[in-house]
Every structure is written in C-alpha cells, then in structure tokens.
Amino acid sequence: MKQFFYIVFGGLALVIVGLFCVRVGVAVKSLKPVQVAKPVEEEDKVNTTYYLWSEATTTIGAKAFMVMNVDDGSTLVSKAGDTLMPVASLTKLVTAIIAKQHLDGETRITISQKTLDTYGNSAGFVNGEVFTADDLLYPLLMVSSNDAAEALATTYGRKEFIKAMNDFTQSIGAYHTYFVDPAGLSAGSVSTAHDLAIILKWIYTNQPGLLDITTEKIKIMRSHTWVNPTHFLSWSYFLGGKNGYTPEANRTGASIFKFSSTTPAYAVVVLGSQSRDSDVVSLVQQIRKENDK
C-alpha cells in the first residue's frame, strides 16, 4: 500500500515540476535580450558628437534648417526639415534653372513698363532696355531683381513658365515645393528646407554655372553696376547660394559650402530666420568641426 502511495505522489511531483519548468521556459523566452553596455570611451564619443550638434543648433533661431551632404544626399542635421514655409527669393534659384532650360541664352528681352511695375528691386532697369536671357541671370541671382524674374517668365509665357517650375521640382523629388510666381513675392510660393537642399544638390550637379553667378561680387553691364550683397563672398569655401526676404517668409537662405578637395560639399538651408547669417555661420562652424575630427 505504501509503495502505491509513493508511486502516485512521486508521479504528481514530477508533473508539477515539469509544469513549473515549462512555465519558466516560456517566461525566459519572452524576456528581451539584455544589451551589452558599450565601452566607456565609445559611449563618450557618441554622446560628445551628439552634444556638439545639439549645442550648435540651440543657438539657431531659424524656424527650419537643414544641412545635407550633397555628394551622397545624406542629412547631417535638420529641424522641421519637411515643414512647408514661404521661401521668398529662394524661388529665383528655380526661376534661373527654368530660364536656362527653356529660353535660348541669346533670346532678346525688352524691359516693359509692366515689368517695371513689379514690386521691389528693379536692378535699375529702364523702360525699353533690351537684354539677353543670359544677361538677366546676373541681376536675378546677384541682386535678386524681381523685374528680371518677371521679364524672363513673361518672355516664355508667365503661366507656362510657372508650370515648368513646378514640373521641374516634382521631377527631381522636391515634392512639397510649389510656386505661384517667379520672384517669390507671394507667400504662396512655398517649399521645405529638405526640398531646397535637393534643389541645391541638383544645381551643384547639373548647372554649377548658376552658382558661379551668385559668387560674383560686381557685374558691370553697359550703364548698370550690380553689387552682390551676400556676406559670404570672401569665404573661399562658399560655392554659391541665394538669400531672400519677405515679411511672411522672414529671412531665408540656401547655400553650398566645400572646405577642401577631400571633403564633401554641403547644402545649408535656413528658413524663417530673424538672423540668417549668424544661423548659417553656426551651422558652417559645426560642419567644419565634424570634418576636422
């Protein structure tokens, strides 16, 4: 009889132990693997890099900004990079592209009174003056002439020109960009910091001559002298770019910098800034620190 009880209780004990082991096994499988801590020196390096970028960007007042490596398209740092905002005269970068693509450079363009009635910078044009399409790229990009933008667009057909601008941005992947005028006067001409970096990358790769125009300090053409107001012209690593301002957009900037033949080129875009130049300087200084490591 005792032997019978030993067998029964022994069997029950084995069953209970077995069930317990199964339950523990399931629980162990459900646990997430424990991550092995990084060596202190590696951890410090990662945190230091992150801190430097954070420290640099806290001083930037622009509502949106982006730094892109235009050699490979990678983003170094971004704030509100996909936020749609008015871009002011950065519009003229695309105006210049479309003018080069759709107008023969020797096309003769007469400055009309209607063109002169455009709000803002006229570049000193006089009613009846004649320029070539290529001539007008200088006041367009150097002194941000709204009249030059309108003259180029009107020559092609203003509605068709603006459509070509929008078709172009879609074709290169700047999907959030939309223009309603060729000068950027309207708050309806909008883009994002990311899209503008894409546009700069395209210009750098396909139409670098447009960037060259933006680095010229002075251009004399007949009775006109156009002086470029950009503050980065004395920097050897400034490859070109464009600034803009309207009350709705505040100060905007899109530029490319390259520090040496062995470093990539970088697109730096700031939108909605109260102090555009100091924002750009902060970003450029940080890029240089990263390249010096």
pLDDT at 121: 78
pLDDT digits (tens, 9 = 90+) for 9-25: 445 444 444 444 444 34
Query: Which listed residue (78, 89, 189, 273) is catalytic?
Result: 89
Beta strands in 53-191 (DSSP E): 64-69, 75-79, 85-86, 108-110, 130-132, 190-191
DSSP state of 260: S
Average pLDDT rounded to a whole number, residues 234-257: 97
CA torsion sign for 60, 61, 65, 70 is: negative
Told to judge if 282 belongs to the known catalytic residues of this protein, a careful annotator would answer: no
Identify the three-state secondary structure at position 18.
helix
The amino acid occupying position 29 is K
> In order of start, what are the domains of the chain with their CATH numbers?
62-292 (3.40.710.10)
Q: How many angstroms separate the Cα of 190 from the Cα of each of 45, 129, 165, 167, 253?
A: 39, 32, 12, 14, 14
Query: Which listed residue (78, 92, 145, 189) is catalytic?
Result: 92
Distance CA 20, CA 18 (A): 5
Told to judge if 217 belongs to the known catalytic residues of this protein, a careful annotator would answer: no
Query: Which listed residue (78, 122, 144, 191) is catalytic?
Result: 144
pLDDT at 47: 31
Average pLDDT rounded to a whole number, residues 233-248: 97
pLDDT at 53: 55
Residue 48, pLDDT > 80, answer no
Q: Is 158 exposed, middle or buried (0-12, 13-18, 19+ CB in 10 A)?
A: middle
Told to judge if 273 belongs to the known catalytic residues of this protein, a careful annotator would answer: no
pLDDT digits (tens, 9 = 90+) for 115-134: 999 998 789 999 999 999 99
